[in-house]
Amino acid sequence: EDQVTQSPEALRLQEGESSSLNCSYTVSGLRGLFWYRQDPGKGPEFLFTLYSAGEEKEKERLKATLTKKESFLHITAPKPEDSATYLCAVQAEGSGNTGKLIFGQGTTLQVKP
C-alpha cells in the first residue's frame, strides 16, 4: 500500500535556528513528490516538485531534497513568517492515470522571534 509519513508532527524553532523536516514514502513507483505549505484557514500552497533521487530544489530559505525512500525539507535561518504546516504528498504510478496525491499528516512548524 502506498504510504507517506512525515516527522516530526510538530517543530518549534527559534528564529535563525536551521532544521529539517522529513517525509518518508512507500510507493510502487514514484511519479512525483510534492511539498506544500498550508497556513491556518487556507488551502495548501505549492512549494516544490521532485521527480527523481538526487534532485534538489531551492526557494528562499527552503531547500527540498529527494532520495529513493525519503525527502527532506531543509529550512535555513527561519523567520516567524515561515510558521505553517508543511505537507508532503506523492503521486504514485499505481494511481493509474488519475494522478491523485497521497498526503502525509504534515509537520506544524512554529518559529519564535
Partner 1 sequence: GAGVSQSPSNKVTEKGKDVELRCDPISGHTALYWYRQSLGQGLEFLIYFQGNSAPDKSGLPSDRFSAERTGGSVSTLTIQRTQQEDSAVYLCASSWAAGTGETQYFGPGTRLLVL
| Closest CB 98 distance from partner 1, rounded Å | 5
- Looking at the Cβ atoms of 62 and 87, the one nearer to partner 1 is 87
Q: List the helix and strand counts (H, then E) for the chain.
A: 0, 11
Residue 89 interacts with partner 1 (CB under 8 A)? yes
Residue 102 interacts with partner 1 (CB under 8 A)? yes
Q: Which residues of 32-52 are buried (b: 16+ CB within 10 A; e: fewer)?
A: ebbbbbeeeeeebeebbbbee
| Closest CB 81 distance from partner 1, rounded Å | 19
Under 8 Å between Cβ of 22 and 3: no
Positions in the binding site for partner 1 (CB under 8 A): 31-32, 34, 36, 41-46, 49, 51, 87, 89, 91, 95-106
